Structure 1
Amino acid sequence: MSENTITLNNGVEMPALGFGVFQTPPDVTSDAVEEALRVGYRLVDTAAAYLNERGVGDGIARSGIARDDVFIETKVWISDYGYDATLHAFDKATGKLGVEQLDLLILHQALPSAFDRTLDAYRALEKLLADGKVRAIGVSNFMPEHLERLLAATSVVPAVNQIEVHPYFQQTELQRVDAEHGILTQAWSPIGGITSYRDSEKSTFEDPTLLAIAAEYGKSAAQVMLRWHLQRGRSAIPKSTKPERIAENFDVFDFELTPEQLASIDALDTGVRGGPEPEAITLEAFDRSIPEA
């Protein structure tokens, strides 16, 4: 494993730093993805619930980068959980993305209130993996108890658990459980963007510790946070639609944080979640129809 790539638990190699498109409007997604690929990103993360998979596919196609050189990951929304529904969710995703195979397919939420559906959905992912339609499978926002229930009922250990991780919310116990099972922790909101638009007392971008470290290297707080993720062995998927930010977030391979600096960032954890509690994601509250391809 180099700092640029991570080998998943099934031997698949994945870029460590990816490009996210959460909340990116469909009409600007293709431009953002094309620009990210031009800058050098080779991992793009999307989801059925973002309603912009088609834009991701268009951006990849327009980039001129060979399909085999782009790692594409997407997520199945809870409305499409269940064995047959999840198999069809794969067809919907690949149809919009314009590809035949996915590099990583993830269950977007644990859906603990209807976990039998989650298990059936994951068994569908196992089938897709066995058939070579996806190269790796994973989960997102699964807490330790959800992972334990999943592992007890299924055969394939998830390759990835994509969770909220940034300096102010680190989920260290969950990361430990991931590592214990050989599951890669992939950070969403890796630079704490969620702290800048939720009801937070302060934003990670204004944190004195991060700004002081950034000043030492002539970098931004965002670049320091991404460097922290990489040196801690995580994958991170920052998002932006601004070309200058897209480039800035990828420019993190030319400096290295000291052990003391890493520890000082670790010490910023507040334990306050920015996103919704995993238990709050229910079909009653979050059911939505995912359009056909």
Structure 2
Amino acid sequence: MSRKGADGYLLRKMIEDLQSIQRECDPQAVEADEGKDKLDAFEASKRDLTFMIVELKKNIERRNEMLQNHGRQEQTIRLKAENEKALTSAKLKFNEMRKAYDAQVAKKRGKRLPDDVLANRKEMIELLEQDIKDLEQAHSQIRPRRGGDGNRDLARQLKENRQREREEDAKLGKEAVPMGELSAGAQQFQMEKEDHDAKTDQQLDLIRTGVRDLHDIASEMHEELQVQQVVIEEVNKEFDVLEKKFKTANQRLNTLLEESGGTARWCSLMIAFIILLALLGYIFQLF
């Protein structure tokens, strides 16, 4: 297999691996809408919003990674616009979830959900609202180019943002709700969310490695194409030289022909020579 064919095969294999990783980054994404009809308005909105937040985390990390490695490009600008649109959609979905919660709270006792369920949902609203704020901050924050092992994943950055906000709230006299004071359902939801963040970070690390490998392959192919371009230019130069030599030789032949009488003289001589040969042949047949 030639070097070019091997690189092409490796490139296709790498793309297939990255597509597989991308599918793994969205666990149960294919089944995201299954069973949705069985959920009430709050649970359905929470389910959709959770998937939207997971996707946003990956896309924001992807944009920040591209900004660090390549700076502002058309693709990063387009991705920024897509992320802003996704953030707007997430906020709208969050508002739907909050309205569904408020509608339950407004119902009379006996017709609304139990108080412990409503308390659990209120805590989930606060957690998801904080997630959206963290995503907004990560989206607006352009991190500097990475200079070696300054590779920080998005989930770690979001946790640092939360910690920083808790410290600021403590300075202002605000009380943060400790993990131990959350309800069992909210604690489980928070732990599942953090566990999924960690898994997403691992997948993103694999994607980053794959993208770097693809970049290296593309760089090698680009260098090879540059070498081929130089060879083609040299061949074209050789052809130009040969063409000039051919034109010069042809011009010399035309000059010699004109100096010896031109085409008219040589044509008459050739005709006379042919007639002479015909007469000799006729005489030879007679004798």
Normalising TM by the smaller chain, what interval?
A: under 0.3
Richer in strand (by share)? 1
Name the larger-Rg structure: 2
Higher relative contact order (CA 8 A, sep 6+): 2
Richer in helix (by share)? 2
TM-score (norm 1): 0.22
